[in-house]
Amino acid sequence: MKIKISWPTGIVLALVAFMIFILSFVYKVMFLPEYDHHLVSEEYYKDELNYQKEINEENKGIALKENIKISKDSLGLTITFPSEFKPSEISGLISFIRLSNEKIDFSVPIKLTSNNYLIEDEMLVDGRWDVKIEWIVNGNIYLYKEKLIY
């Protein structure tokens, strides 16, 4: 038995198949947890208002004789603060943000005994991290941002 399909029926079947194909992708993106989509920040618009303040704080850090340096070694990441400041005067917060998985984001307060701060290897997962260091010395707020592959 041979099935004969006329061209209008073929066009309708092709359109229906294409619509099912597209709707399956819409279903995956909207309802399956492995395709979870979220904003980098839940308070995106509030963060945007503070952006000029962040630029000014970053420029203050750039204007220093030396800025923060981040280097990878066998123990983890070493963050070196400028030697022109006493380590006991430096305070603030170091944030590690993973855009692909917000569950592993973490922040650590800055408490220094020397100009180096070690983030241990066990705290970091391989991949891309956004590092944001907000540090305060003598009432001046500085900001350092870097994107790194660990």
> If you compute the radius of gyration of the chain from its CA atoms, what whole number of angstroms results?
25
Q: What is residue 70's predicted lDDT score, i.e. its pLDDT? A: 92
Q: What is residue 41's predicted lDDT score, i.e. its pLDDT? A: 67
Q: What is residue 142's predicted lDDT score, i.e. its pLDDT? A: 93
User: Please, what's the b/e burial string for 57-70 (b: 16 or more CB within 10 A of its CB; e: otherwise)?
Assistant: beeebeeeeeebeb
pLDDT tops 70 at residue 40:
no
pLDDT digits (tens, 9 = 90+) for 62-77: 998 998 999 998 888 9
Rounded-to-integer distance, Cα 1 and Cα 99, Å: 57
Name which of 43, 55, 64 is nearest 145 in CA terms. 55
Q: What is residue 44's predicted lDDT score, i.e. its pLDDT? A: 74
pTM of the entire predicted model: 0.68
Rounded-to-integer distance, Cα 112 and Cα 91, Å: 8
Q: What is residue 38's predicted lDDT score, i.e. its pLDDT? A: 65
